[in-house]
Amino acid sequence: MDANETKTYLALLICAGILVLLIIVYVLSLMKHQRKNVTLYKEKVQAEITALENERRRFVSDLHDDFGPVLSSVKLHVASLSPSSPDDEALQKKSLHLINDMLSQIHQIANNLMPNALERKGVVIALKQFADDINSTGKIKITVSSESNDLAVVKKDEIHIYRIIQEAIHNTLKHSKADRMMIDFKNTTQDIHFTIDDNGVGYNYDSSSKNSLGLGLKNIISRVEMLDGEIFIDTAVGKGTHYSIIIPNAQNQ
């Protein structure tokens, strides 16, 4: 190379060096902002979901502590009436029947919003009870299996696992035409791994995701991300749907 070419080559090397440096700075800046965005996003989702759960808790408590006792008192009053004619007696029986229906509906609504078993017996038992309720309709057979009834998760996170499965079951009932569904929990040293399978019609994930994911699936993903977990899907038309969810356990959080 002559002197001129050497200078050009040197200039080129410097340009290449600057380019490499710029690319490194760009990538590092991207990564920094990605971490920041992830944190902000998680905080936002967490705030939304926590607000939603708190609202549900407050609503259940209102139903349970205010509305329920008032209705029970009405029931007592109606029962204590002494009907003077057969028509009045029939009316009293009908009223008592309606009040009983209303009380059991309140109990059901409260249980759907915030299952009692979840607080007292943990997520696995609560899900088994939820599955039994659905199985009793005869539309589908849901099996919940776990090596242990105690999952190594922080107590406050159990509600999110419950909601994830609840949403998945609703999705299956609504869209999949499945007659069997299996939910399986596994504890590992680092994570809790749970799978949700159904033998329904499945769907083409690529074409579905090009439009927009359904609200139910979005809720599932939001809760999984809130728990710092990952969710994978394996589905195809005619092959059922298989969700695999991994969330860090209580020791690993």
Partner 1 sequence: MLNYYYVTAFGYANLIAMTIGLVRFKKILKPFRLFVIFLVAGAVNDALSTFTIIYWHTNAANGNIYILIEAIILLFIFYNWGSFGKRILYLLLSLFVLVWVAENLVFGSLLKINSFFRLFYSLAVVILSIDQINVTMMHERKNLFRNAKFIICFLFAFYYTFKAVYEVFYVVPMKMSDRFDQNLFLILVFVNLFTNLGYALATLWMPTKQKLTLPY
Q: Rounded to the nearest whole angstrom, what is the least distance from the CB of residue 44 to partner 1 in the complex?
A: 9
Burial class from Cβ neighbours inside 10 Å (0-12, 13-18, 19+) for residue 222 reads buried
What's the rounded Cα separation, in Å, for the pair 97 and 121? 32
For residue 170, give the nearest of 160, 181, 159 by alpha carbon: 181
Contact by Cβ (8 Å): 241, 202? yes
Per rule CB under 8 A, count of chain residues that contact partner 1: 36
Choices 58-66, 83-91, 173-181, 212-220 (CB under 8 A): range interacting with partner 1: 212-220
Interface pick for partner 1 out of 25, 31, 98, 237 (rule CB under 8 A): 31
Interaction between residue 41 and partner 1 (CB under 8 A): yes
Interface pick for partner 1 out of 76, 139, 232, 250 (rule CB under 8 A): 232
Interaction between residue 47 and partner 1 (CB under 8 A): no
Residue number, 1 or 136, with CB nearest to partner 1: 1
Question: What kind and span of H or E run contains 14?
Answer: helix 3-62
Within a 10 A sphere around the Cβ of 66, how many other Cβ atoms?
10
Interaction between residue 52 and partner 1 (CB under 8 A): no
Interaction between residue 241 and partner 1 (CB under 8 A): no
In Å, what is the CA distance from 140 to each residue of 9, 161, 171, 200? 73, 21, 13, 11
Q: Rounded to the nearest whole angstrom, what is the least distance from the CB of residue 209 to partner 1 in the complex?
A: 9
Site string for partner 1, 192-211 (x = CB under 8 A): -------------x----x-
Interface pick for partner 1 out of 11, 33, 112, 148 (rule CB under 8 A): 33
> Count of H helices and E strands in the chain?
8, 5
Interaction between residue 15 and partner 1 (CB under 8 A): yes
Interaction between residue 120 and partner 1 (CB under 8 A): no
Residue number, 1 or 85, with CB nearest to partner 1: 1
Token pair 């509305």: residue: 67
Residues contacting residue 237 through CB under 8 Å, at least 6 positions apart: 201, 202, 203, 204
Token pair 């990952």: residue: 230
Interaction between residue 230 and partner 1 (CB under 8 A): yes
> Given the rule CB under 8 A, which residues bind partner 1?
1-2, 5, 8-9, 12-13, 15-16, 19, 23, 27, 30-31, 33-34, 37-38, 40-41, 205, 210, 213, 217-218, 220-222, 224-225, 230-234, 244
